[in-house]
Homo-oligomer: A and B are copies of this chain.
């Protein structure tokens, strides 16, 4: 198998940093690697696998000879550069929401819908973080019992909003504890010891874009009929890393909590942590820095016939973005889908 030439676009961001660590951890095999970012970061040093690299300014020409672009740049950069990379023969694994719902762009979670990778036309979209962790849990259950209806309430960490948001949580928490004033910059309301029931902008139907991403991306990834009833509430919580989700899912066929537990204990990328009387259930701080999606509190939904309620927790920076980006790149190589 030929090893690819890869480029990491947006190498200096929170997700970009995680992509680097994960490439190292998984010992991702490549022929060459380059690190691209905005002009502002160009020339900065970057340490990777014991070597020093310099960040290059991302330009259309940067992608000459590149096979796979691991992109965690912002939407503006992706818009400007993704097609330039594709034009030059690269496959772009993109983390923005820009291309996710486009018909000819597969929206992929490695281990969930790998076959969709084959349909790519140069761009593969990485789903939103809150969707990704949920899909790893729902896919094996959907295969067994077919999803009929889904209601999700999220508890999302600030790291989903970037480095500045993490600093704002830390700094504003210190301010509150010391009875000092604090001026919010990232969040519209103070997130310290508080909850903000808004992530991303509001749409005309009263849902946020984050909530509608969860609704629409779930349907696309699991190939569910458009009319499948799915509803979501997305809430920002004062947690640094890991998103948590309270999930009420109803199935066509009967499925018991024990059956769900068994299926999930054998599922790709999922760890069942569900012994509540012994205080074994997932929490975001414990999931941070780890690769699996953790699921616990699995029980019969008292409000529906074939329903299951669960608590799903994962490191949003890893599973939701960086890890899936690297896993998709691995699949591209394994499946022989890069042009060599």
- Enumerate chain A interface residues (CB-CB to B < 8 A): 149-151, 153, 155, 169-170, 173-174, 177, 188-190, 193-198, 202, 205-208, 215, 229-231, 233, 235, 237-240, 244, 246, 248, 257, 276-277, 279, 281-286, 296-304, 307, 309, 311
A82 to B215, CA, bound (A): 50
Do the beta carbons of A155 and B237 come within 8 Å of each other?
A: yes
Q: List 20 other contacts, CB 8 Å, given A173-B177, A193-B239.
A: A149-B304, A151-B151, A189-B286, A194-B284, A194-B285, A197-B283, A197-B297, A202-B276, A202-B277, A205-B299, A206-B257, A206-B276, A206-B297, A231-B248, A231-B301, A231-B303, A231-B307, A233-B246, A235-B311, A237-B237
14 A-B residue pairs with Cβ-Cβ distance under 8 Å, sorted by A, are A190-B285, A193-B239, A195-B239, A195-B284, A197-B244, A197-B283, A198-B281, A202-B276, A206-B276, A206-B298, A229-B302, A231-B302, A233-B246, A233-B248
Do the beta carbons of A238 and B193 come within 8 Å of each other?
A: yes
A304 to B238, CA, bound (A): 30
CB distance from A289 to the nearest CB of B (A): 14
A174 to B208, CA, bound (A): 33
User: If the complex has contacts A153-B246, A233-B297, A237-B237, are A281 and B206 also in contact, measured as CB distance less than 8 A?
Assistant: no
* CB contact between A198 and one of B169, B196, B248, B276 (< 8 Å): that residue: B276
A257 to B207, CA, bound (A): 12
In the complex this chain forms, how many copies of it are found?
2
A279 to B196, CA, bound (A): 10
Do the beta carbons of A299 and B257 come within 8 Å of each other?
A: no
Which residues from chain B contact A170 at a C-beta distance below 8 Å?
A: 177
CB distance from A231 to the nearest CB of B (A): 4
Looking across the interface, which residue of chain B has its beta carbon closest to that of A207? B299
Which residues from chain B contact A177 at a C-beta distance below 8 Å?
A: 170, 173-174, 177
* CB contact between A189 and one of B151, B174, B229, B279 (< 8 Å): that residue: B279
| 5 A-B pairs with the lowest CB-CB distances in the bound complex, closest first | A206-B299, A231-B303, A153-B153, A229-B303, A153-B246
A173 to B169, CA, bound (A): 11
Do the beta carbons of A300 and B189 come within 8 Å of each other?
A: no
Which residues from chain B contact A197 at a C-beta distance below 8 Å?
A: 244, 246, 281-283, 296-297, 311
CB distance from A316 to the nearest CB of B (A): 13
* CB contact between A155 and one of B193, B235, B281 (< 8 Å): that residue: B235
Do the beta carbons of A198 and B237 come within 8 Å of each other?
A: no
Looking across the interface, which residue of chain B has its beta carbon closest to that of A233? B246
Looking across the interface, which residue of chain B has its beta carbon closest to that of A307? B231
Do the beta carbons of B194 and A230 come within 8 Å of each other?
A: no
Most B Cβ at <10 Å: residue of A189, A207, A233, A284: A233
CB distance from A302 to the nearest CB of B (A): 4
User: If the complex has contacts A153-B246, A155-B237, are A231 and B309 also in contact, measured as CB distance less than 8 A?
Assistant: yes
